[in-house]
Structure 1
């Protein structure tokens, strides 16, 4: 029997499900505690969040917690993988004239898109090493989405190992599973999925509104998307979320990029069309036909 509890953290809804009801309370306690730690670390709505120490350092090295260090490493990795689509690392309102940005425009069947580029990507300017992090004045970290994905991935894996049962942790518009799936798979209807998610998989549903609401620098163009929604199944929630955001950046090349990464996805276009990418795993998952 699946036991599920609803929580709130990291400014979004959280759901914890386990296949062994006797472990329900322990699972909820773990997810709640980790969500609170992550919130205290990166949520800019909290004046005391640790991430503000990097803003106040004015480009000097800062000794950070192991949790913030881990979040930054993950954010840099997925920003690099997606060419900055996650916007977890962005330009701040402090200009640095060594890195003058340029705006490029491209036209495709999906419409006109624009991108802000600079000689050295912002995610390459953050320095990590010897227990410290150096964030230049012109760079700002926005790690709330990174924290949500890490919560889903780490909590599900940890609980499945410790409790010996199947676990699904949903955080906002993404979810990750670990351990043995229940008969028929995990129900991801809360994410708009019509079919169950298999064991050891993660899913992210990234709508146009999610992409367009990403933080931007004061002089950056507000993101626009010509897609309605992108649903991605991957080995981790972090990868699924990042891939979904990358698809909104380049709608014309989204299917090709997703296929090159070996991902399974459904791309819903603004004209109510749908494009499917990848093969369905033998266990079946949320995008099964």
Structure 2
């Protein structure tokens, strides 16, 4: 029996589905606890979030919790995986008319030793997207292991599954009234372009990119990077051997060869 619950947290809709009715309440509690932990560590919208101490350090090493250190490492891994297309840093602009005396920092300038973060002056972290994806993946693994049931966890547009699937598999809806079946242990992420004036969009830009892989952080990073790569996205995804579905501005659907897998059709 497949049962689910939904609620809003971290500025997203959260969904938890499990294959055992008795597991739903404890599964939701575990997912909720992981979300609260990650949000308190990394959310820029929270004045008490731990990440503010890192952003205020400006060149000084900062010791952080194990939770934030893990989330920062995930964000740096995505930056390396995407050649910087999806990075953890935003650079604070200097005051108007005042040139900066410091070089612009990049993710390659950031180092994490154990739980101490070393970031250069001018570095400002925003790891919201990768933190949510990391939490989705961890939640699916935790619930499946602790409760010995099949589980699907969704935070916004990132989905991860764990344990044994329900009869008929995990059916996941995509924008545009379509759906796919996710294999056990698989993850999915969809990156969508903001609504813009069609005359202001470069030809070949994508309205959405969906990637299926075995890791939620990797799926989020690849989908977001592909959306930003524009016309070069398909070849890049092919090189990475990723299952991906892209929708262009005319509504045409493009897929990579790996998308032909029966669980991602």
The answer to whether TM tops 0.5 is: yes
Alignment counterpart, residue 278 of structure 1, candidates 253, 257, 260 = 257
Please state whether the residue corresponding to 2:194 is helix, strand or coil.
helix
Displacement after TM superposition at 1:93 (Å)? 2.6
Contact 1:226 1:251 in 2 (8 A): yes
Displacement after TM superposition at 1:132 (Å)? 0.7
Looking at structure 2, the residues matched to 168 and 256 of structure 1 have their Cα atoms a distance apart, in angstroms, of 30
2:32 counterpart residue number = 32
Looking at structure 2, the residues matched to 278 and 10 of structure 1 have their Cα atoms a distance apart, in angstroms, of 35
Looking at structure 2, the residues matched to 144 and 98 of structure 1 have their Cα atoms a distance apart, in angstroms, of 26
Looking at structure 1, the residues matched to 162 and 24 of structure 2 have their Cα atoms a distance apart, in angstroms, of 15
TM (norm. structure 2) is 0.89
State which drifts further: 78-87 or 273-282: 273-282
Deviations 1:251-282 (A, max 9, x none): 22211111111210111111222111033576
TM (norm. structure 1) is 0.82
Looking at structure 1, the residues matched to 205 and 244 of structure 2 have their Cα atoms a distance apart, in angstroms, of 17
Looking at structure 2, the residues matched to 139 and 260 of structure 1 have their Cα atoms a distance apart, in angstroms, of 31
2:79 counterpart residue number = 79
Alignment counterpart, residue 230 of structure 1, candidates 205, 209, 216 = 209
Please state whether the residue corresponding to 1:194 is helix, strand or coil.
strand
Looking at structure 2, the residues matched to 280 and 270 of structure 1 have their Cα atoms a distance apart, in angstroms, of 20
Looking at structure 2, the residues matched to 171 and 62 of structure 1 have their Cα atoms a distance apart, in angstroms, of 29
Displacement after TM superposition at 1:83 (Å)? 2.2
1:220 counterpart residue number = none
Deviations 1:188-223 (A, max 9, x none): 12655422222111111111129x9xxxxxxxxxx9
Looking at structure 1, the residues matched to 155 and 84 of structure 2 have their Cα atoms a distance apart, in angstroms, of 22
Looking at structure 1, the residues matched to 4 and 231 of structure 2 have their Cα atoms a distance apart, in angstroms, of 39
Q: Which has the higher helix share?
A: 2
Where in structure 2 are the equivalents of 1:161-200 lying within 5 Å?
Answer: 161-189=145-173, 193-200=178-185
Looking at structure 1, the residues matched to 143 and 223 of structure 2 have their Cα atoms a distance apart, in angstroms, of 26
The unaligned stretches of length 5 or more in structure 1 are: 101-120, 213-222
Looking at structure 1, the residues matched to 116 and 7 of structure 2 have their Cα atoms a distance apart, in angstroms, of 33
Deviations 1:82-130 (A, max 9, x none): 1222242222235754426xxxxxxxxxxxxxxxxxxxx6101112114
Contact 2:76 2:87 in 1 (8 A): no
- The two structures, once aligned, show a CA RMSD in angstroms of 2.2
Alignment counterpart, residue 145 of structure 1, candidates 126, 129, 132 = 129
Looking at structure 1, the residues matched to 245 and 2 of structure 2 have their Cα atoms a distance apart, in angstroms, of 27
Please state whether the residue corresponding to 1:49 is helix, strand or coil.
coil
The unaligned stretches of length 5 or more in structure 2 are: none
2:220 counterpart residue number = 241
Q: How many residues align?
A: 255
